[in-house]
Chain A
Amino acid sequence: MSDAALAIADLNAVSDRDGEAILRGVSLTVERGETRGLVGESGAGKSTIGKAILGILPRAVRVTSGEVLFEGQDLLKAPAALRRRLIGERIALIPQDPMTALNPGRRIEGQLTDGLRLWRDLSAGAAREAALKLLDEVQIRDPERVLRSFPHELSGGMRQRVLIAAAFALEPKLIVADEPTTALDVTVQKQILRLIRAMQSAHGTSVLFVTHDLGVVAQICDRVTLLFGGRVVEEGRTADLLQAPRHPYTRALLEACPRYDQPCAGLRPIPEQIIATLRAEIAA
């Protein structure tokens, strides 16, 4: 527990718009060097957790109680300057959509070196050297050309590589990956997952991997937390959770996944009864 890179305890959040709870007492830890999957359907609150860590919640969402412990500090209560530094320098984000996550009006070089120049005070030349090295590390050919490019001149996979390079630029302790492969096609997805995995073990970074895709979880996560309705349904080691799910919702969710080894089986929706039971539990 003391070794955790990030410890979230009893986090509650509500929507200011309708007063509805978005997170209901979520607790989870990300151990040092591990990849923790955060899974759930739309509206389960998985992205909200990622955003709460990074302090980029939308205006309409408010955290009401709980703590987010990172490097001995509660990020929710830390003074603004310290928080800005901790999050900006020690936590990085790999965003969901590589199409909009890069500023269309700026060259890659500037965007890749933003963090280095802001937090490391590197000169333009030194930052450029570092950027070239990073691009090389994420297996981008011709990094010189990519640095000069604007985002729209690169493919989706290339942009996601650039974003991964940017995330690792400051050697962060924790990376929040917010569905980083959802917007990519399947072949590119596979490469990107491998790349994140490789980078993560090379740098010893902890990753909180937000996704709705159990297939992705199986490939990349050491442990998984499954959310429903802003609440943790089940958590455990990935293999255990996928092979021997304890909660009926988890079981139903796994059965709902299309399987390539049974292509004609059809899709099985999650039984209404399980959803109803969960809702009743949450309401209680």
Chain B
Amino acid sequence: MAEATAGAAPVLLSRRPSHTLRACLREPKVVAGGCFILFLLVLALGASWIAPKDPLEQDILLGATPPFWLPGAEPGHWLGTDDLGRDALSRVIYGSRVALTVAFVAASLAAALGATLGLVAGWYRGAIDATISRLVEIWMAFPPVLLSILLVAVVGAGVGSVIAAIAIIDWTRFCRVVRAETINQASADYVTAARAMGFSQGRILLREIFPNVLPVLIALVSLEMGIAVIVEAILSFVGLSVSSDTPTWGGMIAQGRQLLHQGWWILAAPLAMLFLTVLAFNLLGEGLRRALDPVMRR
């Protein structure tokens, strides 16, 4: 019994940082997902050096050429071109910028908002908890995609509004999980002991409870990044994200859908990237959850 309870310590903070890192690196999902995200980050940051062409440069004479392994491919355009003759590979690379920006910023904002409300609800309980919990339930009853389209349509298109829309919609995921975990931690004896010691509620919440909620939160943020990438693509697809002169995967998919009879590859490249990115974030999140959660490790 002693052993089982001893193992329940959250690994994230109860080990030295190097131990936590090693526990994560032992998890193949973390390695696979993490490597792809890292690769994507390099692409996004170094897009202007890595992309072979200017993603906006048009060449009507070279419209809708296929990728290199198909007959009729144009040398230099590895993944072919769209109907305006813009280089698909370069556009996919540049598209990762918007996708990753939205993923990181929107997921962090949603996590910050949701975790704060979740901590408060789980710690104070009572009327505050009831109010926040009802709010979450009402919030979750709206269809998220419709709500985000509505929000962006009202506020106006752009990366900022896409990020705001995702944060405003998805904080509920964090709120629910963090609230549950806070309630769980708050019932532990160490919290009672801290109360008897005379520590303020704020200190107990931030210094005793929050660090023990963090592992769950981190795994959730990674999953949320995958969701944010999809939502951004959906909003780009319906033309509510950034302006059309910035390449986005969703925008490319929308364009490719109209040109499906001219060439399927226009749609395929951004779709593949979207698929791989979301998969990578999900793998990373799932892997982190396993690596940081001692119950799953056994």
Which residues 74-95 in A have Cβ within 8 Å of B in the complex?
84-85, 87-89, 91-93, 95
Within 8 A of A (CB), among B202-230: 208, 211-212
Counting CB contacts under 8 A, is A101 at the interface? yes
A105–B197 CB distance below 8 A: no
Considering the complex, give the chain B residue whose CB is closest to the CB of A167. Answer: B193
Does any Cβ of B come within 8 Å of A143's Cβ? no
* B190/A114 in contact, CB under 8 A: no
Which interface residue of A59, A104, A118, A151 has the most chain B CB atoms within 10 A?
A104
> From B214, which residue of chain A is reached at the shortest CB distance?
A105
- Contact A84 B198, beta carbon cutoff 8 Å: yes
**Are A100 and B197 closer than 8 Å at their CB atoms?**
no
Which chain B residues in 72-100 approach chain A with CB under 8 Å? Answer: none
Chain B residues, CB < 8 A from A84: 198
A56 touches B9 (CB 8 A): no
Residue among A85, A114, A151 with the most chain B CB within 10 A? A114
Q: A104 to B192, Cβ gap below 8 A?
A: no
0/1 string, A148-173, CB within 8 A of B gives 1 = 00111001100000000000000000
B2 on the interface (CB 8 Å rule)? Answer: yes
How many residues does chain B have at the interface if contact means C-beta atoms less than 8 Å apart?
27
Q: A97-B189, A151-B9 known; A105 and B196 CB under 8 Å?
A: no
Tell whether A100 pairs with B5 under 8 Å between CB atoms, given A118-B197, A118-B198, A150-B14. Answer: yes
Within 8 Å by CB of B5, from A89, A99, A111, lies A99
Please name all residues of chain B whose beta carbon is closer than 8 Å to the beta carbon of A155 when the two chains form the complex. Answer: 2
The 8 Å CB contact of A105, one of B13, B192, B198, is B13
Q: What are the residues of chain A within 8 A of B14 when measuring CB–CB? A: 104-105, 150-152
Contact between A100 and B190, CB atoms less than 8 A apart: yes
A118 and B196: CB pair below 8 A? no
Q: Give the shortest distance, in Å, between B139 (CB) and chain A (any CB).
A: 26
Task: Decide yes or no whether B194 CB sits under 8 A from chain A.
Answer: yes
Assess whether B196 is in contact with A55, with CB atoms less than 8 Å apart. Answer: yes
Instruction: Let me know if A114 and B194 touch, CB within 8 A.
Output: yes
Interface string of A104-122 (1 = CB under 8 A from B): 1110000100110011000
Contact of A105 with B211 at beta-carbon distance under 8 Å, contacts A56-B196, A97-B189 already known: yes
CA gap between A152 and B198 in the complex, in Å: 25
Q: Is A95 a contact of B189 with CB atoms below 8 Å?
A: yes
Q: Which residues of A are found within 8 Å of B193, using beta-carbon distances? A: 93, 95, 101
Whether the Cβ atoms of A88 and B9 lie closer than 8 Å is no
- One digit per residue, 1 when the CB lies within 8 angstroms of any chain A CB and 0 when it does not, for chain B 1-18 equals 010011111101111000
B residues near A105, Cβ cutoff 8 Å: 9-10, 12-14, 211-212
Q: Which residues of B contact A104 (CB under 8 A)?
A: 8-10, 14, 190, 212
Given contacts A104-B14, A105-B13, A151-B9, contact A114 B212 (CB under 8 A): no
- Distance to closest chain B CB from A207 (angstroms): 15
> Is the CB of B195 closer than 8 A to any CB of chain A?
yes
The CA of A96 and the CA of B193, in the complex, are separated in Å by 11
Residue B125 CB within 8 A of the other chain: yes
Cβ of A103 under 8 Å from chain B = yes
A118 engages B190 (CB within 8 Å): no
A111 neighbours in B (Cβ, 8 Å) = 190
A118 in complex: contacting residue of B192, B199, B212, CB < 8 Å: B199
**3 residue pairs, one from A and one from B, having the closest CB atoms:** A88-B198, A104-B9, A152-B9
25 contacts between A and B (CB under 8 A): A84-B198, A85-B198, A87-B196, A87-B198, A91-B196, A93-B196, A95-B189, A95-B192, A95-B193, A99-B5, A99-B6, A101-B188, A101-B190, A101-B193, A103-B190, A105-B10, A106-B13, A118-B199, A119-B198, A150-B9, A150-B14, A151-B14, A152-B7, A152-B8, A156-B2
Q: Could you tell me which B residues sit within 8 Å of A by CB distance?
A: 2, 5-10, 12-15, 125-126, 188-190, 192-199, 208, 211-212
With A55-B196, A103-B190, A150-B14 given, name 19 new contacts (CB 8 A).
A59-B125, A84-B198, A88-B196, A88-B197, A88-B198, A88-B199, A92-B196, A93-B192, A95-B192, A96-B189, A101-B192, A105-B10, A105-B212, A118-B197, A119-B198, A150-B9, A151-B6, A152-B7, A156-B2
